[in-house]
Structure 1
Amino acid sequence: MADDPSSEDYSDNENNAELSGVLSKWTNYIHGWQDRFIVLKNGTLSYYKNELEVNFGCRGALSLAKAVIKPHEFDECRFDVSVNDCVWYLRASSVEVKQSWVDALECYKVESGYGTGSENSLKRHGSTVSLQSNTFSTASGNSFHRSSRNLREKLAELGTFKDILCRQIDTLQKFFDGCVDKELQANNKEKIPIIDFKGEAITFKTTTSAVLDTLEHCAELVNQREEAWRRRLERETDRRKRAENLSKSYFEQIQKFQKVPYGPDLEEGPHSVLADDEFYDAVETGLDKMEEEREIRHKLMNGTMVPPTPPPLSPASTHRLWPEIQKVVDEQVNMAKLGVGECGAGWQLFAEDGEMKMYRREEEANGLVVDPLKAVHVVKGITGFELCHYFFSPQYRYDWETTLEHMQVVETISDDTILFLQTHKRIWPASQRDAVFWSHMRRMPNDQDTEGPDLWTVVNHSTELQKYPANTGKCVRIYLTVCLLCQTLVNPPKDGGPVTRDDISCKITYCSVVNPGGWAPASVLRAVYKREYPKFLKRFTSYVIGKTKDERIRFTD
């Protein structure tokens, strides 16, 4: 029967499509589309860098048992193959080649009989193949994180295999019983030892049932653990909501700008799901390039820049934005004066370098990361006024803000209040960003909560201008609230002589909430924050130290 072309095994082998050839496969945002040698065989789609590597092992594989094959809506030569969260983006050289691949993949899915519950399909493919294929698909989908649903699926599959094995054991029992009877009839003189096959079969059935009972118990334990985590998450959510209510007006200033929802469909790339590691690699490369550009520019600059000619001054207190400026500045300074423990729950220390400590609290709004940040630092040799002066003044921004591509003073409201329009460099693959915000510098009065003779602050906060509407051009609008609070500490010389820079230090508190505007993976943004914020604070303070080391000490303007 094995050589009979009409046998079931032979027909199945004929119907299982096998195909190989070169297709373009999307790799990442750095390298884009690359030619790869793709092989479809035995229900598995695998790829190699080229045909010569076939004998050295594949670079990746997908089981087609639960795969979804989807031709692209616009690109006639492209099709996608996905198994749970794993997606391959493939492109053929022509429409005909693409169609042949799609037909072969669909043909296998039809012939596989997977998931039909049919006993014949299980017999036709064999229990070993079915188990391998299911195990591979489960691994691809990261089933551990969806344990409850997938464990029950596995229980159902094991139940099916148990029924098959039990029927096979019953058949073998009948066969061996018949053999024993014939042997006894042929040799009545000498009794031969009789094996209790029936007892062995009963033992095997009992063991199988015990395995299933144990797995079912595991599923119940997983469900109980998930329920406990769900209750814990609810309690944590309630605590965070209570903390947010303490600074409700603070977050309303950020959330009011979230008018246009952004998603991955508006970003570059051939698909809408961005892999975090690819996105972060591209962002990291862009930031490194900007750092190199800043160093080169710093070497070429002679330290002199002509500030832009400001428009006519107007008293800040009579400006239309003054009520908002007054309110936001008061809120931000009060928040900056509070310790991390007083600002609400959820703050995490994510960076520490000597005197510098940086905390963040994970927050998302409409799917966007808007993590509040709070940093404290102590720098010797500079005053609070000097630090705020260089942070506020537009003529110095190009020196220390490495992501800045273009800065425009939209309006000089007064000497201490300016409206800015800033365009930041495009960090590929993210879209270019811009920001419209007012910046206000103020000397704060001494009170019981502060020490030392001097306390200065600079607050930047996003605003809306009809002349510069958000998200209408190539740039995505960033919304931000930033507070730099600087307190000068003086240690009087013991000999009663004049105060030098060795006798002064500045306690810095930096708070920010930034809404990136467009979509980006949360893990990528948080990884960038962890890397860039400490570098920014150290770079900026080092810049101010370098600018003031040979200048007279300035406690005020």
Structure 2
Amino acid sequence: MAEAKHHQSNYKGWLYKWTNYLKGNQKRWFVLQNGLLSYYRNQAEMAHTCRGTINLANATIQTEDAFSIVIRNGGAQTFYLKATSEVERQKWIMALELAKTEAKKMADAESDEEESQQPDKAELNMMLHTLSAKLEDLSTCNDLIARHGLALTKTLSELESTHAPSEAASSMKAVQERATLFRITSTAMINACSEFYELSQSQGRRWQRAIQHGHEQRLKLEEMVEQLAKNVVSLEKKARMSITGQPIKEIGQSSFSCPALMLIPDF
């Protein structure tokens, strides 16, 4: 293990990994980075072929003797590893525990970010209720404007048909009152429109951020699935070649399935 390299939660070096009952423990090159523990047959494989990866965020790290390390990620994956010395085993344990802690922090931070960017149901209902209330205000203002506008028009018509000075003065006073009511209602309508516009703009930007976040997450997932498919096809080709001893033709993405993956030996 003299080749092992350690930097905070990142670690590289040789470990023996249990493969199967036929081959037993095999020497593999392990790389611990960004909360993921990956392994390769040798260092040269790092550029093109990863033999396996386990996420440490929710993993358990245990020891059974002075040289062993057992890493379990729920019921999905288990790595049975052995170091060449107790000192090297302890270095790996420290690096793994530190990487696990940082991976959990990253996962929690991502979860908090998603929750903060995506409004929950109660908040969404509150926004819809507020918008509905503003729409009711606009509808009320519209009715009042129509009513006061009709009254003002009627009063102006009466003023035009008035010839006596005394009646004209009375009609003029009525016009002024109707005009004042119309102006007040119009101002209220303008304010309600402004409030509704500002509220719609602010909530619209928030919804846009939530939609953008969902779009980015979908693209990230598509990239992960595409890369996983490429890795599976590559491993399936190598597995069949190892079993048959003959090169095989290029196989498309639809040619692999879960049963085929179970036959892939640990190289």
| TM-score normalised to structure 1 length | 0.21
- Which one has the bigger strand percentage? 1
Higher relative contact order (CA 8 A, sep 6+): 2
With the length of structure 2 as denominator, give the TM-score of the two structures.
Answer: 0.42
Q: Which structure carries more helix by proportion?
A: 2
